[in-house]
Chain A
Amino acid sequence: MHEFAIAQSIKDIIYNNIKPYLDKSSQIEVELVKVRCGALSQIVPNILEEAFKAVNLEDRALKNTRLEVEIVQAKLECLICGKEYTRATKEEIFLPCPYCNSVSSNKLLEGKEMIVDHIEINTEE
């Protein structure tokens, strides 16, 4: 459910970044927003896509924007052997370390982030 709050934040970030272009032309449209989410970020991509559509239904510049979510692998450090490795999904987090087979402790280095990477805008009339 928090995808709606996330969608609203993404909208705010887009507006902060298109302001200079909007000042020049009120006709610009955002065609794409690309968001990167770590495998542990708790985002369900298609719910976020739907939420983003819903918060922008009546927004001239964003109503046709395609939101693309890229899930980025989580990066872990095994605290037994010290090696780093990646996991693609939450479920795989609990698999043993691929190097030393330990199932005790890991440190999460990356995997919770949610980043607005870039947008593509159409400035034509």
Chain B
Amino acid sequence: MQIPIIKNVLEQNDNKAEELRTIFKEKNILVLNLISSPGAGKTSLLERTLCDLSKEFKFAVIEGDLQTDNDAKRIAKTGAQAVQINTEGGCHLNASMVGEAVKALDLDNIDILFIENVGNMVCPVDFDCGEKMKIAILSTTEGDDKPEKYPTLFEAASAMVLNKLDLLPYINFKVDTAINHAKRLNNKLSVFPVSCTTSDGLDGWYNYLRTLKKM
């Protein structure tokens, strides 16, 4: 006997994410889900952002990693609230993990919450965590073909931070190639080429955060 179903596989996660989004909206918290491969500089970008904008915004970070609380310790040093989720091998965060982590945060004292997803350009894209937007982070050392290889992330993201600009003189990375491919499926993608080491381009990223927070 055939039973028709026609259900979105991720419906349960999507429903939980919607619940979280409602809470974040009520509390007027801007939530951004940062997705990149391991080592692209998510934590470095956060350290810079949290320090440089500490007088303007109250930040919190949910750190997703397979193991260790190294990243949460780095974030806590900036004075922001930080919660670590260890996925114990799991390749992405999902809405219920974020829901649990949120319980450890003082939501009345947060302007901007970053979800630093597990380093992975594939799996985290499919799992809505209740964020307002996904932010893709690409670093120059990964190669300019990554947006072509992983189009789904760049299609789903609202912005791309292109990190490690300071290394361009030493590597063969074509900025235009990466940006053109990233925008191929997403012509609204905002792009911020930056270096967390030299501070180049960070002002553009900070202004973007200020604009998002006012929206």
**Residue picked from B6, B8, B127, B152, most chain A C-beta under 10 Å:** B152
A5 to B13, CA, bound (A): 10
A-chain residues with CB within 8 Å of residue B181 when the two chains form the complex: 94
A-chain residues with CB within 8 Å of residue B12 when the two chains form the complex: 9, 12
A43 to B7, CA, bound (A): 17
Q: How many A-B residue pairs have CB under 8 A?
A: 103
Q: Which of B159-215 contact A (CB under 8 A)?
A: 180-181, 183-185, 187
> In terms of DSSP, what is the predominant structure of the interface of chain A?
mixed
Judge if A100 is at the interface, Cβ distance under 8 Å: no
Given A2-B126, A9-B10, A79-B187, A120 contacting B92 (CB threshold 8 A): no
A107 to B186, CA, bound (A): 7
Number of interface residues of A (CB under 8 A): 38
Nearest CB on B from A19, distance (A): 11
Given A2-B122, A108-B185, A118 contacting B2 (CB threshold 8 A): yes
Interface string of A10-27 (1 = CB under 8 A from B): 101110011000000000
Nearest CB on B from A112, distance (A): 7
Please state if A118 and B8 are interface contacts (CB–CB under 8 Å).
Answer: no
Nearest CB on B from A72, distance (A): 13
Interface string of B78-102 (1 = CB under 8 A from A): 0000000000001110100000000
Please state if A6 and B9 are interface contacts (CB–CB under 8 Å).
Answer: yes
Judge if A117 is at the interface, Cβ distance under 8 Å: yes
Judge if A123 is at the interface, Cβ distance under 8 Å: yes
Nearest CB on A from B187, distance (A): 4
B-chain residues with CB within 8 Å of residue A123 when the two chains form the complex: 1
Please state if B6 and A112 are interface contacts (CB–CB under 8 Å).
Answer: no
Nearest CB on B from A43, distance (A): 9
Judge if B148 is at the interface, Cβ distance under 8 Å: yes
Interface string of A77-98 (1 = CB under 8 A from B): 0010000000000100110000
Please state if B126 and A105 are interface contacts (CB–CB under 8 Å).
Answer: no
Judge if A65 is at the interface, Cβ distance under 8 Å: no
Partner of A2 from B7, B123, B184 at Cβ < 8 Å: B123
Given A42-B122, A117-B5, A121-B1, A105 contacting B183 (CB threshold 8 A): yes
Partner of A17 from B3, B13, B123 at Cβ < 8 Å: B3
Please state if B2 and A119 are interface contacts (CB–CB under 8 Å).
Answer: yes
Interface string of A24-43 (1 = CB under 8 A from B): 00000000000100001110
Show 29 residue pairs from A and B whose CB-CB distance is below 8 angstroms, ordered by the A residue.
A1-B91, A2-B122, A2-B127, A5-B90, A5-B94, A5-B127, A6-B126, A9-B11, A9-B12, A12-B12, A13-B9, A17-B3, A17-B5, A35-B9, A42-B126, A90-B151, A93-B184, A93-B185, A94-B181, A107-B187, A112-B152, A112-B155, A118-B2, A119-B2, A119-B3, A120-B3, A121-B1, A121-B3, A123-B1
Q: Which 4 pairs across A and B sit closest by C-beta, in order of nearness? A: A2-B123, A105-B187, A1-B91, A114-B9
Give me the interface of B with A, judged by CB distance under 8 Å. 1-13, 90-92, 94, 122-123, 125-127, 148, 151-152, 155-156, 180-181, 183-185, 187
Give me the interface of A with B, judged by CB distance under 8 Å. 1-2, 5-6, 9-10, 12-14, 17-18, 35, 40-42, 76, 79, 90, 93-94, 103-108, 112-123
